[in-house]
Amino acid sequence: MPKLFGRKKQPAAKAEPARKLTDLEQLCGQDKETYEALMPVMILDPRKIDTSAKQAAENAKKGEKEDDSASAGMWYVIAGGLAIYEGNVKKVVEYFTEAQRITGKTYAILKNPETAVAKAQEYYKTFLTE
C-alpha cells in the first residue's frame, strides 16, 4: 500500500551561479563607497543622450518655475550625470545639490565628488569606444 502522507524527497538544492560583476563594479574594485555613489546617477553611455548638461539644467530651472518638482529633480539628475561625463566636478556638485534640495533624496556622490568623477572618467576612457 503506498504512503499517503509521507514526505516527498526534495531535490538537491542547486548552487546559485556566481553573479558576474558589472564593468563599473570591476573598475571600482574594493571601493564600494564610490561604486554606490556612482551607480544610481552615472549615465553609462551619455553619448546616447540628445541634450547637454547646460540644457538639462535649463529644463530643471523651467520645471522649478512651473512648480513641477518631479520634472525639475529629474532634469537636475540628468544634468549631474552629464556633468560626470564631462568631468566637471563643480557642476556635478551644483546639479546634485539642487536635485537633493528639490527631491529631498540624498545623493552619495556629494560625499566625495572628486573621487567619483575621477573613477567615472576612468570608466569612460576604458569602456566607451568611439
Look at residue 100 and tell me if it is in a domain.
Answer: yes
Residue-range definition of the domain harbouring residue 110: 26-127
The more confidently predicted of residues 95 and 9 is: 95
Look at residue 70 and tell me if it is in a domain.
Answer: yes
Using one digit for the tens of pLDDT, what is the confidence trace for 58-91? 999 999 999 999 999 999 999 999 999 999 999 9
pLDDT confidence of residue 129:
75
Look at residue 1 and tell me if it is in a domain.
Answer: no
Q: In the predicted model, what is the mean pLDDT of residues 113-127?
A: 96
Look at residue 14 and tell me if it is in a domain.
Answer: no
- Domains: count for the chain: 1
pLDDT confidence of residue 65:
97
Using one digit for the tens of pLDDT, what is the confidence trace for 94-106? 999 999 999 999 9
Write out the three cell numbers for 46: 551619455
Look at residue 108 and tell me if it is in a domain.
Answer: yes
Taking the model in full, what pTM does it have? Answer: 0.83
> CA–CA distance from 74 to each of 5, 68, 107, 109 (Å)?
58, 10, 13, 16
Look at residue 11 and tell me if it is in a domain.
Answer: no
In angstroms, rounded to a whole number, what is the distance separating the alpha carbons of residues 9 and 13?
A: 12
Query: Is the per-residue pLDDT at 11 higher than 90?
Result: no
Look at residue 45 and tell me if it is in a domain.
Answer: yes
Look at residue 3 and tell me if it is in a domain.
Answer: no
